[in-house]
Structure 1
Amino acid sequence: MIEPLIALGTLLGLIALGAPVFLALGGAGLLGLYMARGEMALFLAPTSVFGQLNSFEMIALPLFILMGFLLSETPVGRDIFHVASVWLNRIRGGLAISSVGACTLFGAVSGVSIAGVASVGKLAVPEMMKRGYSANLAAGSVATAGAIAMLIPPSVPFIVYSAMSGVSVSSLFIGGLIPGLAIAFALSFYIYLRCRLRPDEAPSVEQTVDWRARLLSLGRIWHVVFLVVLVVGTIYSGLATPTEASSFGVIGAAAIAGVVYRVLTLEKLIEIVWNSLRVSATILLIIGCAKIFGDYLNLIRIPQMLASTATSVALPPELVMLLVMLVLIALGTVIDGFSLIVVTTPFLLPIVTTLGYDPLWFGIVLVMNLEIAVVTPPVGLNLYTLKGVVPELSMEQVIASALPFVAIQFLVLLVFVLFPGLSLWLPGLL
């Protein structure tokens, strides 16, 4: 059993030294294959990478990323936040709740967590602080709500998990809707209670906006609603696959950026395409190299051994899964979300299925763990993104503001872990 330890040590050592994750996964996988089967086994590596990426479903990943980059260049987050604040202005803490709603709706048209934080945060946080909201409430509501984009379709993490597990992307998109809305509701309810119990954190209720003004405000986001229907609606209705819907989304996002907001110059378009290609290539490289490492693990039957060990331990399946969730949260504090999916899925998925859980359910709760990871230091990308767009806040202040909201996210995760049917109900219905 020394050879698997050498391969695992190589993987962890390269990551600790700061090597790119795809290089660590590919290098450890190649070393493991060589130790297990000699030089002939190395010919498996190119086949593994090509077979993993040569998929119609994988086309959706770069297209959804391109859609998110296109929208991040527009003030669509500003408009969503404005409309939400007009409708919720009579509620104490309404602007903070509006931030949650704006991030949720922005996630439904981008699928990228940090894009929502940047787009909504650069307007919402300074606006809330100017109107008397505490900095902790303003920053925490945006940083954590931005992560909802990882669950609300179109979700890029779901596409990555689908590539690693074989679970249908459409089923994952449908299954993520209820948990995503549950987290949005829980965060909003927490904000409402917090502002009621601590009135100093939010100003008193503002002047009433009449219904005519509220209805007119919807004209600022008609294009967002159209894009949601175009992308998410076609997937839910079965009129389009996620890959086909992603192409609709790119066309719709380009129209919004170029026609509605008129911000899409040739230079800007080249920059957007280049950035989306860079991010897409990085994720695809990680997925392809993870397949090499996964093939090595399957070759020496490590996942099967772990699954057998998990079933032999005299612990209830629910407790085992809670321990798995805690491990994922701990790993998420030091590993980025995409890498966490590709590294842990080959190990954990056999354990989950052996315990009788649905791989679809595991994909949903895995992404819920990633939601917590992106707002947890030291690798919490949402925290650094918010600090970048709101420089007047200190990094310590941003981190402290997110902690109470992270606790709410964990409580919602606990509910969906203990009651798997909550996330499987909608996919089963549709």
Structure 2
Amino acid sequence: MFVIMGAAVASSRAGSDLYEALARLLHKVPGSLVISNIGACALFSALTGSSPATCAAIGKMGIPEMRKRGYDADLATGAIAAGGTLGILIPPSVTMILYGIASETSIGRLFIAGIIPGLLLTGLFMAWALFLSWKRGTVLIDKDRIYSLKEKVELLPRLLPFIAVIVGVVYALYGGIATPSEAAGVGAMLCLLMVAVIYRVWRPRDLWLILRDGLRESGMLLMIIGASILFGYMMSSLQVTQSVAEAIGEMNANKWVVLGAINLMLLAAGCFLPPAAIILMTTPILMPVILAAGFDPIWFGVILTINMELGLITPPVGLNLFVINGITPDVKLQTILKGAFPFMLCMVLAILILCIFPELATWLPNKVMG
């Protein structure tokens, strides 16, 4: 149902409206167009929970507009590729749902735990975009353009209902009002109704495309889940899981060294496998190690998710890189990767910050849910 919810929003003009509204509001900020795109990616991620959908929806409008106004191709494409990864961190996140199932932790707590780190990562992305835009001189393009207050707020009535649905879904989850399945079902129905009313997406052919895309992604996830359960059963039967846990436990290494090794393993796996597959295959192996080291499983879920974000923009199988390359075929993949690399460093910095200040991930869930 969360997948259907995202597919409904992605099928409408919500992405382009969101981008245009932020571009008008942030017009006077240095590097405003890149910052607007990153902000649009963050908000659209919350609406869809899908990184490829975010890249496609915001990139189709944002990248040509940035290049037309003088921004270099590497910054324009790299910002969207990185901004799109926020879809699996900012709630509601399908990746966190899978981690919650695999680790038997609260999905509501995971959703809330992703809010502050998501804002932190968005801020780091924006800070880099602002610095690079200032350094390259692409600052305040069209600075003589003046938007009236009416022009700045005229798109908000279309967007606020979608944002209200996301806030309502998260509130229902952490407030104990509904289970994840119930909240997702209501959210999906409301999103379908809103795209029909607000954007006139009501024809049977349009609705079929939404359901087809949702079914395709859900089918992929269910196949991965089924295969990973078989994989986990085999690993357990062959004592591989227990052996790995015992080997790490007998290392007598500092717990941060163990965490560093886990991060390197996740980063390497992310270069070749999709996030869902990595989470479902590795979580049963890693959880005993994480708990034995005294780490909070909710906090680790956020760390793992940021590692999965890194995997989406690292070669050779960085999904977001290929989505952006499909949108802008005249831009070489090497150029997109060059633009995305500094944002990868921002993600590494975010992981380090969360290791030093774990309360950034744990404080809000504990404050809200006890």
Tell me the distance in 2 between the aligned counterparts of 1:238 and 1:93. 41
The answer as to 2:209 corresponding to 1:271 is yes
Tell me the distance in 1 between the aligned counterparts of 2:144 and 2:347. 29
Partner of 1:359: 297
Partner of 2:110: 172
Question: Taking structure 1 as reference, are residues 223 and 206 closer, same or farther at Cα in structure 2, changes over 3 Å only?
Answer: farther
Tell me the distance in 1 between the aligned counterparts of 2:157 and 2:180. 28
Partner of 2:283: 345
List aligned pairs for 1:57-136, cutoff 5 A: 63-136=1-74
Residue type of the alignment partner of 1:175: A
Partner of 2:273: 335
Question: Taking structure 1 as reference, are residues 209 and 236 closer, same or farther at Cα in structure 2, changes over 3 Å only?
Answer: farther
Paired residues of 1:374 and 1:383 also in contact (CA < 8 A): yes
Provide the secondary structure at the position in 1 that maps to 2:154: helix
Tell me the distance in 2 between the aligned counterparts of 1:221 and 1:116. 15
Paired residues of 2:32 and 2:139 also in contact (CA < 8 A): no
Q: Report Cα offsets for 1:194-217 as digits up to 9, x if no partner.
A: 222221477374534343432334
Partner of 1:391: 329
Pick one of 222, 226, 230 that aligns with 1:292.
230
Tell me the distance in 2 between the aligned counterparts of 1:91 and 1:113. 26
Tell me the distance in 1 between the aligned counterparts of 2:171 and 2:14. 20
Q: Mean Cα displacement is larger for which, 278-287 or 138-147?
A: 278-287
Paired residues of 2:74 and 2:335 also in contact (CA < 8 A): yes
Structure 1 residue 159, shift from structure 2 partner: 1.2
Tell me the distance in 1 between the aligned counterparts of 2:139 and 2:282. 40
Partner of 1:183: 121
The answer as to 2:247 corresponding to 1:309 is yes
Provide the secondary structure at the position in 1 that maps to 2:354: helix
Tell me the distance in 2 between the aligned counterparts of 1:205 and 1:192. 16
Paired residues of 2:172 and 2:183 also in contact (CA < 8 A): yes
The answer as to 2:366 corresponding to 1:428 is yes
Residue type of the alignment partner of 2:11: E
Paired residues of 2:109 and 2:174 also in contact (CA < 8 A): no
The answer as to 2:182 corresponding to 1:224 is no
Q: Mean Cα displacement is larger for which, 206-215 or 138-147?
A: 206-215
The answer as to 2:216 corresponding to 1:281 is no
Partner of 1:36: none
Tell me the distance in 2 between the aligned counterparts of 1:277 and 1:151. 22
Residue type of the alignment partner of 1:259: V
Tell me the distance in 1 between the aligned counterparts of 2:39 and 2:177. 27
The number of residue pairs the alignment matches comes to 368
Paired residues of 2:221 and 2:276 also in contact (CA < 8 A): yes
Q: Structure 2: where are the runs of 5+ without partners?
A: none
Pick one of 325, 328, 338 that aligns with 1:400.
338
Question: Taking structure 1 as reference, are residues 395 and 202 closer, same or farther at Cα in structure 2, changes over 3 Å only?
Answer: farther
Tell me the distance in 2 between the aligned counterparts of 1:276 and 1:237. 27
Paired residues of 1:122 and 1:389 also in contact (CA < 8 A): yes
Q: Mean Cα displacement is larger for which, 116-125 or 192-201?
A: 192-201
Residue type of the alignment partner of 2:200: R
Tell me the distance in 1 between the aligned counterparts of 2:181 and 2:18. 26
Structure 1 residue 418, shift from structure 2 partner: 3.7
Residue type of the alignment partner of 2:192: A
Tell me the distance in 1 between the aligned counterparts of 2:16 and 2:114. 25
Structure 1 residue 104, shift from structure 2 partner: 0.8
Paired residues of 2:31 and 2:138 also in contact (CA < 8 A): no
Tell me the distance in 1 between the aligned counterparts of 2:278 and 2:342. 24
Q: Report Cα offsets for 1:316-373 as digits up to 9, x if no partner.
A: 1112101211121111111111111112112222211111112222221111101111
Provide the secondary structure at the position in 2 that maps to 1:393: coil
Residue type of the alignment partner of 2:124: A
Provide the secondary structure at the position in 2 that maps to 1:167: coil
The answer as to 2:171 corresponding to 1:233 is yes
Tell me the distance in 2 between the aligned counterparts of 1:397 and 1:256. 38
Identity across aligned pairs (percent)?
A: 34
Partner of 2:88: 150
Tell me the distance in 1 between the aligned counterparts of 2:53 and 2:86. 11
The answer as to 2:257 corresponding to 1:319 is yes
Q: Mean Cα displacement is larger for which, 337-346 or 391-400?
A: 391-400
Tell me the distance in 2 between the aligned counterparts of 1:66 and 1:208. 39
Paired residues of 2:92 and 2:166 also in contact (CA < 8 A): no
Paired residues of 1:103 and 1:145 also in contact (CA < 8 A): yes
Tell me the distance in 1 between the aligned counterparts of 2:300 and 2:144. 43
Q: Report Cα offsets for 1:219-263 as digits up to 9, x if no partner.
A: 342232232233233334433332222112211221222111113
Question: Taking structure 1 as reference, are residues 426 and 221 closer, same or farther at Cα in structure 2, changes over 3 Å only?
Answer: same
Structure 1 residue 88, shift from structure 2 partner: 0.5
TM-score between both structures, scaled by the size of structure 2? 0.94
Partner of 1:194: 132
Partner of 2:357: 419
Tell me the distance in 2 between the aligned counterparts of 1:204 and 1:79. 20
Partner of 1:207: 145
Provide the secondary structure at the position in 1 that maps to 2:145: coil
Partner of 2:319: 381
The answer as to 2:192 corresponding to 1:254 is yes
Cα RMSD of the aligned pairs, angstroms, is: 1.8
